[in-house]
Structure 1
Amino acid sequence: MAQENMISQKLRVLLAQRTMKNRDLANETGIAQSTISRITSGRSVLIRFDTIEKICKSLHVEPSELFTPCKPLGGHDK
């Protein structure tokens, strides 16, 4: 899986777990909502580290968590 897709998938999961929307994350981090949307949709070609830091601080996770693949739905490993 490409890192961009891994990050976008993980970010969508983290937002869903917190019942947050892209605009909520944008408001908390000061990152443009369009940037958050590009990241969560997998359309972002390059994500700056300071952007990752702001997102992780807001979601209370370590940056390495964004690079960890999501478990398959249903919790079954393949």
Structure 2
Amino acid sequence: MRKVSLNSLQTRIDTLRRRHRELDERISNAQSRTAPDFTEIKQLKQEKLGLRDAIRMTQTLLSRMHSKKAGHCWQTQFHSG
């Protein structure tokens, strides 16, 4: 099993968001062409939706890990007293 840190998850979210913005720009450029390639646009939009889902899943995991870490810190402080 691989350990994942809060920082690595945040870095992943930042990377996914950057790629999402880049795809948004590519979609805009493709749509503004004189003769847009609708197959390409559809593929780009599907990829963008996949990135959105990956961002949400990673944010959920980050939130859960952050909550567990906060709970662990609280328990450690509570029990050490």
- TM, length-normalised to structure 2: 0.25
Q: Return the structure number with greater helix share.
A: 2
Larger radius of gyration: 2
- TM, length-normalised to structure 1: 0.25
